[in-house]
Structure 1
């Protein structure tokens, strides 16, 4: 299989909303509505664009991060000729769609590199297109389309998580280190050897779970 990530300067509500901002919109389409993750400074203005274009049914806000469920699907309100081009060249669109810098960024998958080339030529004939990356997909584990951070993280105990977070926040992993294990142990309220054991076990779980994706 072969993959390309393309930035397509196709006018649209979500793409236009990100123009001139540092905000990124990720889209999972559900036909009747959209699930959007809006991240970065300027998110308030982007959400206003979304509300005007399709409406917002529900939202969660945490700092500069926003999770939105829209009233309707953007495809119902605007024509999009990208999907017919994908079908014509037997290409797949891997979600989520990403909108940033005024463009729509598509992760496109094809069995034959010639299919990707044909899709690119058709799109480039109508829009300005930037090729962000292209590669051959050779690994199952590292290329799961729906891989999330939660699915990759190991199951840490409450104590291991507490110790690991305390170490990161105190600068234990900086170069040079900002804190010793003795100082960390005093902060957490355990013996130094106990803290070091929790830390080693947490680190071992993290490395073992993430190594297959590297």
Structure 2
């Protein structure tokens, strides 16, 4: 079997909301409604969700928000991506993610040829598609989930990923440190305070995830 993650530029309400802010969205569809997990910039997303499908409930914890919608997005918007997946026998694995104005789809196919054909059909139809990851996998056993490398870390915004990548790549976490936040800020084209905020938020998410496995 073959797994890949496609980032597809999208004009849907949820993708548009992430293009307008630093928000990220994870969506689980339940036919009659959607469950959304929103990280950062939730206010703008919630307003867009309220206008599009309505909001049934909101729960907040820190900068993260969980929203139960009043209706399912698929009842209000046509998702032509699913047609391409269906025609090639490619499965969409939940959750569906939105970030930086794109729909991020984790996909599963019986063969790499089916995945490749699906990719080419999307591109030839005018979709802007970026392949974030791809790998051959074996069958899951013992009831274990199919875990992609990208699912083993928390969802970070584009700026948080950039700050963390620059910090790690330039030796910020080495002893002694190989760089400082002023240099990271310069490479990002932002103020030092902004760079430090992106880095702290990214570090907090990564550490919060890692602490689940520290005994």
Q: Verify: 1:90 aligned to 2:89, yes or no.
A: yes
How much has 1:32 moved relative to structure 2?
Answer: 1.0
The TM-score with structure 1 as length reference comes to 0.65
Flag as ranges the 4+ runs of structure 1 deviating above 4 A: 205-208
SS at structure 1 position matched to 2:37: strand
Paired residues of 1:93 and 1:106 also in contact (CA < 8 A):
yes
Q: Tell me, in whole angstroms, the C-alpha distance in 1 between the residues paired with 2:37 and 2:4.
A: 22
Q: Tell me, in whole angstroms, the C-alpha distance in 2 between the residues paired with 1:207 and 1:61.
A: 25
**Number of residues of Structure 1 aligned to a counterpart in Structure 2:** 153
Q: Verify: 1:128 aligned to 2:143, yes or no.
A: no
Show the 5 A alignment for 1:1-214: 1-40=1-40, 42-125=41-124, 126-138=126-138, 140=140, 144-145=145-146, 206=213
How much has 1:39 moved relative to structure 2?
Answer: 0.6
How much has 1:138 moved relative to structure 2?
Answer: 3.0
Paired residues of 2:90 and 2:108 also in contact (CA < 8 A):
yes
Q: Tell me, in whole angstroms, the C-alpha distance in 2 between the residues paired with 1:175 and 1:139.
A: 39
Measured at CA, do residues 112 and 63 of structure 1 come closer, stay the same or move farther in structure 2, by a change above 3 Å?
A: same
Q: Tell me, in whole angstroms, the C-alpha distance in 2 between the residues paired with 1:145 and 1:56.
A: 31
How much has 1:134 moved relative to structure 2?
Answer: 0.5
Deviations 1:163-207 (Å, cap 9, x if unpaired)?
Answer: xxxxxxxxxxx999xxxxxxxxxxxxxxxxxxxxxxxxxxxx947
Q: Tell me, in whole angstroms, the C-alpha distance in 2 between the residues paired with 1:49 and 1:81.
A: 21
Measured on the aligned residues, the alpha-carbon RMSD in Å equals 2.6
The TM-score with structure 2 as length reference comes to 0.65
SS at structure 2 position matched to 1:119: helix
Q: Tell me, in whole angstroms, the C-alpha distance in 2 between the residues paired with 1:7 and 1:146.
A: 18
Judge which range, 75-84 or 95-104, deviates more: 75-84
Which structure is larger by alpha-carbon Rg, 1 or 2?
A: 1
